[in-house]
Amino acid sequence: MSRSFTDQKIDTELVDELVSLARFAPRAGNTQGIEFLLLEESDIGEYWETTFDTKNRDSFPWPNLFNAPVLILVWVDPERYIERYSEDDKKTSGLGGHVSAWKTPYWWVDGGMAAMTILLGAEARGLGALFFGLFDHEDNVKAKFEVPKRFKSIGAIALGYADNQQRRSKSVDRPKRGFEEVVHRGSWAT
């Protein structure tokens, strides 16, 4: 993940290509319940004003994050999943009544796959990218950019050309669990 960007612009066609790829990421029931809000130019400044207190910017450890020329916000619509699973070919699943029927809410899974598709596509095309959450700013972002209330945020992706100087996140230094600790063949006990 890149946390420091140059202010070099990205061709609109390249951004559109990445979002188009994400449209084809796996979807439960081929539900069309994921949408994208693309923020460029002055919209980015409005996003940061909505989500980041300017007096905290001086102490922010990644000030060049604000240089990213594109933000892609990934949104899911759980109601579209309910509607889709109410259709004849999915009725027997029992998932068409309410979001509480979903033990695994696949709108989160599908939205994560769409976001990952953008991240991998950006990396493959020589771009830097950073996924981050909206956390307690979701309602403010919805209001500012007129996102319908029924949508839920997966997160945002800052997209741009990575700066040569990247300040490492302390999280990178956390030890990774070994392969044998996370892979279970045939049974959890073995």
Look at residue 188 and tell me if it is in a domain: no
Look at residue 124 and tell me if it is in a domain: yes
pLDDT at residue 155, as a whole number? 97
Per-residue pLDDT tens over the stretch 12-64: 999 999 999 999 999 999 999 999 999 999 999 999 999 987 777 777 888 78
Averaged pLDDT score across all residues of the chain: 93
Q: In this predicted model, which residue has the larger pLDDT, 75 or 66?
A: 75
**Kindly report the CA angle at 49 between 44 and 51, in degrees rounded to 5?**
95
Look at residue 57 and tell me if it is in a domain: yes
152 neighbors 113 (Cβ within 8 angstroms):
no
Look at residue 73 and tell me if it is in a domain: yes
- Exposed, middle or buried, 123 (CB in 10 Å: 0-12/13-18/19+)? middle
Q: What is the pTM for the complete model shown?
A: 0.90
Q: At what angle do helices 12-23 and 106-124 cross, to 10 degrees?
A: 140
Look at residue 6 and tell me if it is in a domain: no
Per-residue pLDDT tens over the stretch 121-136: 999 999 999 999 999 9
Look at residue 4 and tell me if it is in a domain: no
State which residues form the domain around 142: 12-171
| Spatial separation of the C-alpha atoms in residues 38 and 57, rounded to whole Å | 23
Rg (CA), the chain: 19
| Spatial separation of the C-alpha atoms in residues 118 and 124, rounded to whole Å | 10
In CATH, what number is assigned to the domain containing residue 33?
3.40.109.10
| Spatial separation of the C-alpha atoms in residues 118 and 126, rounded to whole Å | 12
Q: How many domains does one find in the chain?
A: 1
Identity at 65, one-letter amino acid code: L
